Every structure is written in C-alpha cells, then in structure tokens.
Structure 1
C-alpha cells in the first residue's frame, strides 16, 4: 500500500482505537498536527509534499500509530531511506557465522530465515519439532498460513495467522525485495481464510519478539508445549532473522530457600 492509502486506512483504525463509529476526519488530523486541512488533504491525495521528522512525529500522534506502524510511515514517507543496509563484502562469511550460531544450539529449536521467511538453516531440534523445514524451498510464512498441519500444531491458529499477515504487511511496506514478497502474498491469498483475514484491516507488526504461544506436537510430547519466540536481528544482514523457541520451564516451588547470609541469618 502506498502512503495515501495507508493514511486513509489509519484514519479508520484511529477511529476504532478512539472508540468512535467512523474514521477520524481529515480536519481533525490537520488540527492535531497544527497544519491546514488543505495541506493534509493534499498529503492524503498523494501530492508531492516534503515531510520532516517533526511533521512525521505529529502525524503519528494524530493517527494514534503504534511503533510498528510508525516504522512503516517513515519508510513510506522517506522512500525506504534508512531501512535497508547496503550489502557488505563479507556478507557470505557473516551468513555462515549465523548458520553456525543456529545449528550449534542444542537446548531449544532455532532457525534462520531471510527477509522473505525462506528457511536458510536450522538445528536438530527444529527439524525434529517441524520436519517440514527439511523440504527444498521451505518457507515459514507459507507453511504457517496455508498448511493444514500448521493449523493443528499452532493452537489458536487464527490469532497466529493475523500476526503473520501483519508481519507480512510490514515487510511489504518496508522491505527491499517487494516483488518476491508480493509473490509470496499472492500464494498465501489463494487460501480463502487467509484472504478474509488479510482484508480485515491495516495492522502491521515488525517482529513477534517475546511472543508466548502453545503448540500441539504429539510426535514430541503428549502434552501441549508452551514456547516463547526470541528474534535476533543481525546488524549487518538486513532482513535476516535468527529465531529461537524457548520452551517454558517448570515453575519454581512456591517457597524457595535462599542460602544463609554472612551474618548467619536465613530467609525463605
């Protein structure tokens, strides 16, 4: 979506956030920003207008944008400036280092993807939990959104699907390989349920950092597994993601003995 389209849907979304029955009007956005209604109307119409950081900040506040939406706004307003990093001569060597980081993990599943969610590497536990990663051309987004296996293994699948689609929308708005991402989206939208979820709104999410969710993996455990996803973003490998799934550890007993202090006292 281009900036004018985003602004229009964000006005609708702002109305929902503010518990109104309709989108906030252009006039109100302009007043909150301290600009004329004509100026804002021109911006939303797609006219060429210079946007400073200050203006973008005021626009973000007026439209009640979250942090991920703000990143999309800045990327669109600045034509992606400051988003993509130039390739480094040592990119291949850096990628090998990331692969070693992922494959050396032995305590929890870990995997590496590129900006289009293509699986670049994984460790033994990831392959045991999710054998599909071994398949040629394995793609996390495509598997999670279109495969029936994913809908059984990821409990509350619709919630997962909404998050993945919001991440894909963010990547389309800020990523450099838009053609590849668009092809991925078109494959996903062949699924009727995904098509319905995609049409629901303009929500964007950058990363699912710290997201806690439950999995049903009968080939691994007879009980549901709760994991927290941790996403590492390599500074000089733009778009790549190192993801680790940390299983929930058993809770500590309600009373834990603390070692005696130097003065001989103890506590529980």
Structure 2
C-alpha cells in the first residue's frame, strides 16, 4: 500500500463525510463536492489552503501534533480515526533501518498458550494484527471449525470472511463483521506500512474479493475490543456471544480473544453442547493417532 495514497484517500474520504451545515459554515451557491472543500477544512484547522493541500496530497512528514489535533477536530475524527491519522504521520518519517529488514514474526509464549488452553469452557484463541489465529483451545477450534477445515484460509479470519462462502452463514451479521475486519487491517497498515506479509494479504484479498475491495476503498478504521458476535454454527445453531479482545502487554502485537455467553441463555447451552462434541471428537482423533479404541467404539 502506497503511503501517500493512503494519506490522501483517508483525508479526502473524511472531508467528504462532513457537510458545511455540520461544520457550522455558511453555504453559498451550488456545490460540486459532497462534503467540505479543501479551503473550508483549512479554515477550520487554522492552516493555509496551500498547506492543507500539501497534506491531502499525502505529505505528512514533519507535521506537528498541534496541526494533527486541529485537523482531527476539523474533520470530526473519532478516537480510532485520530489514532490512525497519527500512525500515518509517524510512518511518514524516515524509514528506520530495522524496518528495511524482514521482521521476525511474533510467536505465542508457552505461558500464553497455557492460559488459552486453561479455559476449556470458553472459546479462546491468540490473534495477531493481521487477523491470523496463531493458537486456539479446543473449543475455539470447534467454534471456527469451518475456517480450520479450509487450508486455503491459513487460519486467517479475514481470508475466511471474504474467501469462504461458509463465512456468510457463520457470521449472522456478516457485513458488520467484514467491515470491522477491513477497518482493523487498515489500522495495522497505518502502523506498519512496511509489513510485507500484511501488504501481501491486502493485495490478495483486493484481487480475489470484490466485497473486500469496495470496503477497503471506504477508508474506515476499526479497533477490536469488546463486542457482541452473532454466529450460526453448523452443529449447534445460533449463538449470541460476547467477545473480549485483550492485547498482550508487550510489543508482539498479539491479542487474546475470548468468547462467552451470559448464564442461563441459549448461547450458554450451545457452548456446552459444542464443548461436549469437541471433547468427543478430540478423543477420537487422539485414539486414531495412538491406535487405541475410540470412545464410541464398543
């Protein structure tokens, strides 16, 4: 992803979303742009039109925090959008020598893997900023059984969402989830524009999925935190689960994602049924690997 193009497209898309009325500006005559003009954004941000034009052409090098704050206020950016703008500005600086080398991929520490495995009643997995699931407990693999059954997904949530037809059945609110995934990848692209694996993933999805290409063009950003997921599992049916995403306190960029259901709900019963099924099939796989009789064999 070209950095200047990313900056230019983001700023244009944000000013296109704001009307003069929303910005408290007078309207004169017929307008040819859907939102604010460049000059109007410059006035609201307290900079010259020439300077703002330079910014919107993708040149954020050397821009001060005060200008970024004024620009974020003029464009009415939310917290996530403001963070993304700052990431774009940081990435506009000189390329650190470390980034010119191929980055070492973070691995899941054994202690983190034990924590995930130690929650047998809750689906849990470890995810990186490219939405790869690097480790999952048995119930997590059972919940995402269709993703893990497709080797072309590479255990990547975005590939599953856009390239596997089963995802549109699995995610009851598929479009919302898909837009969140695209927004999360855009946030990561702003932070790490030199991540070759991320660029390859975005290129692959843009080439193979019209839906991804359209959503990527919207310039929206998103950070996974807590949310409610509406899922339809092929074995246990509809599940309404609470999702919590907890970033690890290091520089790995990894997060632990955990699903849960409120007590006494149909979703809790569904998770118990799924846990029972996954435990049985897991024992059968273990038996097959050792040559011993499976639990279902007399």
- In structure 2, the CA distance between the partners of 1:47 and 1:217, relative to structure 1 (3 Å rule), is closer
8 Å CA contact 2:123, 2:139 repeated in 1: yes
2:209 matched residue in structure 1: 191
Q: Per-residue CA shift, 1:141-166, capped at 9, x if unaligned?
A: 21122211111111021221111111
Alignment match of 2:10 (pick from 6, 10, 16): 6
1:172 matched residue in structure 2: 189
8 Å CA contact 2:129, 2:185 repeated in 1: no
Alignment match of 1:244 (pick from 258, 262, 266): 258
Shift in Å, 1:75? 0.9
User: SS where residue 125 of structure 2 aligns?
Assistant: strand
2:137 matched residue in structure 1: 123
Q: Does 1:202 align with 2:219?
A: yes
8 Å CA contact 1:129, 1:217 repeated in 2: yes
Calculate the TM-score normalised by the size of structure 1.
Answer: 0.79
- Structure 2: which 5+ runs fail to align? 28-32, 99-105, 266-298
Shift in Å, 1:17? 10
Alignment match of 1:54 (pick from 53, 62, 66): 66
Show the 5 A alignment for 1:69-148: 69-79=81-91, 95-131=109-145, 132-133=147-148, 137-148=154-165
Larger helix percent:
2
1:153 matched residue in structure 2: 170
Q: Per-residue CA shift, 1:115-150, capped at 9, x if unaligned?
A: 222221101111222223376632122112221111
8 Å CA contact 2:60, 2:89 repeated in 1: no
C-alpha separation between the residues in 2 aligned to 1:74 and 1:145? 29
Shift in Å, 1:231? 0.4
Alignment match of 2:234 (pick from 190, 193, 218): 218
2:38 matched residue in structure 1: 26
Q: Per-residue CA shift, 1:176-209, capped at 9, x if unaligned?
A: 653211211222221233333333x1111122x2
Calculate the TM-score normalised by the size of structure 2.
Answer: 0.71
- Structure 1: which 5+ runs fail to align? 252-268
- RMSD over aligned CA atoms reads 2.9
User: SS where residue 18 of structure 2 aligns?
Assistant: helix
